[in-house]
Amino acid sequence: MNAFFSRAIWLIVLAAISQPCIAQDTQRRLSLETPSSSAAGFLPEKSANHAASSIYSPSAIYMMSAGINAADSKRAAGPASDENAAMANRVREEFLHDWNGYKQYAWGHDELQPLSKTSHDWHSVSLDMTPVDALDTMVLMGLNDEANQTREFIAKNLSFDQDIYVKNFEITIRMLGGLLSSYQLTGDKRLLALAEDLGNRLLPAFNSPTGMPYVYVNLKTGAVRGKESNPAEIGTLLIEFGTLSKLTKKPIYYDKAKRALVELYNRRSPIGLVGSGIDVETGKWTSSSSHVGGGIDSYYEYLLKAWLLFGDKDCQRMWKSSIEALNKYVADDAPTGLWYGHVDMNTGKRGGTYFGALDAFFAGTLALSGDLDRARRLEDSSYKMWNLTGIEPEVLDYSKMAIAYNGYALRPEIIESAYYLHHFTKDPRYLEMGHTFFDGLVKNCRTDVAYAALSDVQKMTKRDAMESFFLAETLKYLYLLFAPPETLDLKKVVFNTEAHPIRRSW
Ligand code: DMJ
């Protein structure tokens, strides 16, 4: 099942269950020029609700991580680090098990179908999605032969000159993000050339009356389709397009993605929330259900991360007003723990007590923002969700701790959050969680050739699907949780939403 299909199921589930309505040097980082000189004028503030709060200052973020890293290196030696290295090695071996299955049965195709041992392409031609998405994980794991072979294959075979309609969001986060990150890690300019070619072919998606992108764009003709979109697909583009601008010194990519983000933000409700559906031609909301899950999730993630990566002060302001509204209306201190549920974007009225595998990224975003208290409590809640059956469900009704949708698509978000929390707190609790996640994956999702999604986390029934994010994200965050801190310096990189690390090299 490709991401489009999985998102479609997710949206159907949400529709059914929702009520209708519904660093190194921070100072230097913040002084980086925003490529779009016009960007600062985009942002009329709507009300006092949107005033910036000061608790998440970037210098606090920097000082916290710097202080913790100092303590970190003292703890790095010793028995615990041996155990962690062994665990990192086990994750690496599982990556190789999975990658070898992909190579044997699906090489050159977008995805492996691990039960039938066949391949699956999203379009009429392959875009080498799994190799592009997985390449930087190989580099970080030190799998040099595999990485070199894969890089050569991509450089020689991948062509975006294809008469196919692609989903702008998915291709941006997986392919553009993957190519940019792997270019930065390897210095192979052919990857940057591919990224620039792809970026140019995606640009027509932004040619709507509002500047918010259409859902689909034809890579050869530039024709567009799909005017009904959502905040995640509109607002999760700036890390990739902005990085392309920085690396090519062409501001157009940054400007287009930034405008889309700001146009979306400017349509927030009077209480500062966004809905889960919007028409990019009229700018009118088609769903007023507000939450941090699928369809909205990474819009919030990118407000914070674009501020951190580019020092973009508009993104800083947008993040601060958004997190204030989320904590006021969407956060739910329930008897079962802290959750972020569903509310109406205009009234703040609670519409559903739903949280799921996708929402679990939010603890990591809170941790990155400096709000460790909420981050810890939310990850504790997510962990309860995982432990209901030993693998998390796609959707949980947290008021009853009852599973509302029982699939598991090999998603990474709960592990991503454990990685951030461990990085910032060094609390061994997050390593224990990592062991639980790893054991659950091996026990329930491993096949003789790879890993498989689950159609039912109660019966642990496998499904013939393995999305590329399993190699790009799930195993990468699990590896980084246990790998020595010097494997990746989180002060110098920002992960895109597909776990591709982007370094501030400009
Ligand atoms: C990934 O493609 C990205 O993490 C995206 O932001 C959300 N969904 C999947 C993983 O679950």
**Considering only CA atoms, which residue is closest to atom 3 of ligand 1?**
498
Distance 472 CA to ligand 1 centre (A): 10
pTM of the model: 0.87
- CB neighbour class for 5 (10 Å; exposed up to 12, middle 13-18, buried from 19): exposed
Q: Which residues pair with 118 in a beta bridge?
A: 113
Residue 119: strand, helix, or coil: strand
Determine the Cα–Cα distance for residues 72 and 426; give it in Å rounded to an integer.
Answer: 7
Mutate to test the pocket of ligand 1, among 130, 392, 413 (most ligand atoms within 8 A of CB): 413
Distance 358 CA to ligand 1 centre (A): 7
- The reported pLDDT for the residue numbered 41 is 29
On whether residue 463 sits in a domain, the answer given is yes
The alpha helices in 287-410, defined as continuous H runs, are: 297-310, 313-325, 362-369, 372-387
| Catalytic residue check, 473 | no
Distance 498 CA to ligand 1 centre (A): 6
Q: Which residues pair with 178 in a beta bridge?
A: none
Which atom of ligand 1 lies at the shortest distance from residue 358's CA? Answer: 11
Task: Say which of 297, 324, 359, 473 is annotated catalytic.
Answer: 297
Phi and psi at residue 488, to the nearest 5°: -155, 130
Comparing C-alpha atoms, which of 214, 120, 223 is closest to residue 172?
214
Return the DSSP state at 389.
T
Q: At what angle do helices 429-445 and 475-482 cross, to 10 degrees?
A: 140
**Considering only CA atoms, which residue is closest to atom 1 of ligand 1?**
498
CB of 500 within 6 A of ligand 1: the answer is no
Asked if 434 contacts 481 with a C-beta cutoff of 8 angstroms, the reply is yes
CB of 298 within 6 A of ligand 1: the answer is yes
- Which residues contact residue 375 at a Cβ distance below 8 angstroms, ignoring those fewer than 6 apart? 363, 364, 366, 367, 417, 420, 421, 424
| Catalytic residue check, 82 | no
Asked if 475 contacts 97 with a C-beta cutoff of 8 angstroms, the reply is no
What range does the domain containing 485 cover? 3-37+56-492
- Which residues contact residue 24 at a Cβ distance below 8 angstroms, ignoring those fewer than 6 apart? 489, 491, 492
Distance 428 CA to ligand 1 centre (A): 26
Which pair of tokens denotes residue 299?
């819009």
- The reported pLDDT for the residue numbered 53 is 27
Which atom of ligand 1 lies at the shortest distance from residue 361's CA? Answer: 4
Distance 5 CA to ligand 1 centre (A): 13
- The reported pLDDT for the residue numbered 398 is 98
Determine the Cα–Cα distance for residues 131 and 128; give it in Å rounded to an integer.
Answer: 6
Determine the Cα–Cα distance for residues 435 and 438; give it in Å rounded to an integer.
Answer: 5
Sign of the dihedral defined by the CA atoms of residues 299, 304, 308, 314, in that order: positive
Determine the Cα–Cα distance for residues 259 and 278; give it in Å rounded to an integer.
Answer: 16
Task: Say which of 110, 128, 170, 359 is annotated catalytic.
Answer: 170
Number of domains in the chain: 1
- 3-class secondary structure for 239-299? HHHHHHHHHHCCCHHHHHHHHHHHHHHCCCCCCCCCCCEEECCCCCEEECEECCCCCCHHH
The alpha helices in 327-486, defined as continuous H runs, are: 362-369, 372-387, 413-425, 429-445, 469, 475-482
On whether residue 503 sits in a domain, the answer given is no
- Which residues contact residue 424 at a Cβ distance below 8 angstroms, ignoring those fewer than 6 apart? 64, 65, 68, 367, 368, 372, 375
- Return the H-helix or E-strand segment holding 395: strand 395-397
CB of 469 within 6 A of ligand 1: the answer is yes
Which pair of tokens denotes residue 237?
């583009």
CB of 497 within 6 A of ligand 1: the answer is yes
CB of 389 within 6 A of ligand 1: the answer is no
Mutate to test the pocket of ligand 1, among 167, 169, 298 (most ligand atoms within 8 A of CB): 298
Amino acid found at 342 = H
- Return the H-helix or E-strand segment holding 95: helix 79-106
Return the DSSP state at 408.
B
On whether residue 196 sits in a domain, the answer given is yes
**Considering only CA atoms, which residue is closest to atom 8 of ligand 1?**
358
On whether residue 499 sits in a domain, the answer given is no
Distance 75 CA to ligand 1 centre (A): 33
Q: Which residues pair with 217 in a beta bridge?
A: 166, 224
Which atom of ligand 1 lies at the shortest distance from residue 473's CA? Answer: 4
Q: How far is CA 484 from CA 135, 262, 357, 420, in A?
A: 20, 38, 27, 14
Return the CATH number at 460.
1.50.10.10
Asked if 260 contacts 206 with a C-beta cutoff of 8 angstroms, the reply is yes
- The reported pLDDT for the residue numbered 78 is 64
**pLDDT by residue, tens only, the chain of 506 residues:** 344 334 434 333 333 333 322 222 222 222 222 223 233 223 333 332 222 222 223 222 322 232 223 333 344 446 779 999 999 999 999 999 999 999 999 999 999 999 999 999 999 999 999 999 999 999 999 999 999 999 999 999 999 999 999 999 999 999 999 999 999 999 999 999 999 999 999 999 999 999 999 999 999 999 999 999 999 999 999 999 999 999 999 999 999 999 999 999 999 999 999 999 999 999 999 999 999 999 999 999 999 999 999 999 999 999 999 999 999 999 999 999 999 999 999 999 999 999 999 999 999 999 999 999 999 999 999 999 999 999 999 999 999 999 999 999 999 999 999 999 999 999 999 999 999 999 999 999 999 999 999 999 999 999 999 999 999 999 999 999 999 999 999 999 999 999 999 999 99
Which pair of tokens denotes residue 276?
């889960």
| Catalytic residue check, 486 | no
On whether residue 478 sits in a domain, the answer given is yes
**Considering only CA atoms, which residue is closest to atom 11 of ligand 1?**
411
- Which residues contact residue 36 at a Cβ distance below 8 angstroms, ignoring those fewer than 6 apart? 251, 254, 255, 258, 259
Q: Convert the pLDDT of each residue in 137-181 to its tens digit.
A: 999 999 999 999 999 999 999 999 999 999 999 999 999 999 999
On whether residue 417 sits in a domain, the answer given is yes
CB of 301 within 6 A of ligand 1: the answer is no
Length of the chain: 506
On whether residue 403 sits in a domain, the answer given is yes
| Catalytic residue check, 196 | no
How far from the centroid of its chain's Cα atoms is residue 260's Cα? 18
Determine the Cα–Cα distance for residues 207 and 487; give it in Å rounded to an integer.
Answer: 40
Comparing C-alpha atoms, which of 198, 190, 194 is closest to residue 148?
190
On whether residue 48 sits in a domain, the answer given is no
Torsion of CA 320, 367, 275, 409, to 10 degrees: 160
Asked if 151 contacts 181 with a C-beta cutoff of 8 angstroms, the reply is no
Which atom of ligand 1 lies at the shortest distance from residue 3's CA? Answer: 2
